Amino acid sequence: MTRNTTMYIRNEGNGEVELQLEAASWEPANISSYLNLTWNYDGAAVLPIEMVEVTLTLSSSSSPDFTEYLVAYDVREFSFDIIISAFS
């Protein structure tokens, strides 16, 4: 299963930057073994005042192990932090 979300990121700085995506603070912690966060950002420099459209995609494993994990630990919800950093 996958879920997409589109967002817009604007460079408010004075120089060009590249973006980096990280998923952190997964709850429950082990669910990160079965979920994967990616995006379609290609690594191109984002110029000052430029806005880029990116699509985040959250994918879940189709493995029976994932279903077993959800049942065994009675997982009804999960959360994680999405961290997008800009660096020059």
pLDDT in tens, 10-53: 999 999 999 999 999 999 999 999 999 999 999 999 999 999 99
Measured in whole angstroms, how far is the alpha carbon of residue 2 from the centre of its chain? 12
Specify the pLDDT at position 2.
97
68 pLDDT band, cuts 50/70/90, is: very high
Dihedral angle over CA of 75, 5, 9, 44, nearest 10 = 100
- CA nearest to 4, candidates 31, 39, 32: 39
Alpha helices in 20-74 (DSSP H): 64-72
Helices (H) and strands (E) in the chain, counts: 1, 5
pTM, rounded to two decimals:
0.91
